[in-house]
Amino acid sequence: MRCLDRTLASSFVIALALAGCSDDGLTPEADTDTSGTGTGTTSNTATNTETTLGQTTTPPGDSTTDGCGTADCFPSSSTGCDESGGCDSTTTDEPPPPPSMTCENPMQCVLVDDCCECAAYHIDDTVPECPMDCEQPMCSALGIPDIGVVCEAGMCELEKRDCSGLVVCDSLPPDCVDGTLPEVGNGGGGGCWTGACIPLEACDPVPGCEYCVATEACVATETMQATTVSCLPLPEDCMGLATCECMPPDTCAMPFDTCADADGQITCS
């Protein structure tokens, strides 16, 4: 009886082994859900894909057979593939523009006047592409088609225009867009609006210190007629706070021989 029991047990084991073999002699994959409704996850190291709930996804950085993957879409997209299998370009990761080159004289500066901007560039700078689909270029739209360019402190800039707001005429200023200020003609305190709108970086003087950025010093010049405000480059020696000692000697040029500072503002009188 014991021998018979052993014989039956051995036959049962052999039957189980034969049931686990495929017709082609290869070992089948374990726990594979072919119905698409399973809850398990099966990894396949040969194709480096992952099957979850009947769907096959590609790990980040890999490429599927349609050629779409995070590496394929970079740098035009930071989100990889979209639902249709193509590169998702809804969000871009464009490289920052190169820093502007320094100049030594105005001959190295050019005016860029297109549908996107009215600005000064170094002749070797890379100008951003702009579609020409506007009625007139930006400088003309702002009313300054004749504005020139200068080289100031090693940087190419638009020539300065008076934006002080000090006028003697009885008229309203033009309605300028954000980032620009109305131009005053014939000098501050003695003219009227020209109708032009000047980009803030080309304004000097300006209506007040609130138009100076963190890298600029607010310098107020007092005269018998009025006080004008200019935004001058802030030297590194000032360590973020403008004083008479750290500013250049010609900040208060003759005939303004008195310099005073308070809370980062320079006053010349």
Mean pLDDT in order along the chain per 10 residues (269 residues): 42 44 45 45 41 36 43 39 54 50 93 94 93 91 95 92 92 93 75 93 94 92 88 91 92 86 92
Please tell me the distance from the alpha carbon of residue 138 to that of residue 142, in angstroms, as a whole number.
Answer: 6
Q: Return the pLDDT at 150.
A: 95
pTM score > 0.85 for this model?
no
Q: Return the pLDDT at 178.
A: 92
DSSP string, 92-133: --PPPPPPPPP-SSGGGEEEEESSS-EEEEETTS-PPP----
Task: Tell how strand 216-222 and strand 227-233 pair up.
Answer: antiparallel
CB 215 within 8 A of CB 189: no
- Domain positions in the chain are 106-158, 160-205, 208-268
Please tell me the distance from the alpha carbon of residue 169 to that of residue 187, in angstroms, as a whole number.
Answer: 13
Q: Return the pLDDT at 132.
A: 84
DSSP summary character for residue 209: G
Integer angstrom CA distances of residue 206 from 75, 128, 145, 243, 260: 41, 28, 21, 20, 19
CB 264 within 8 A of CB 255: no
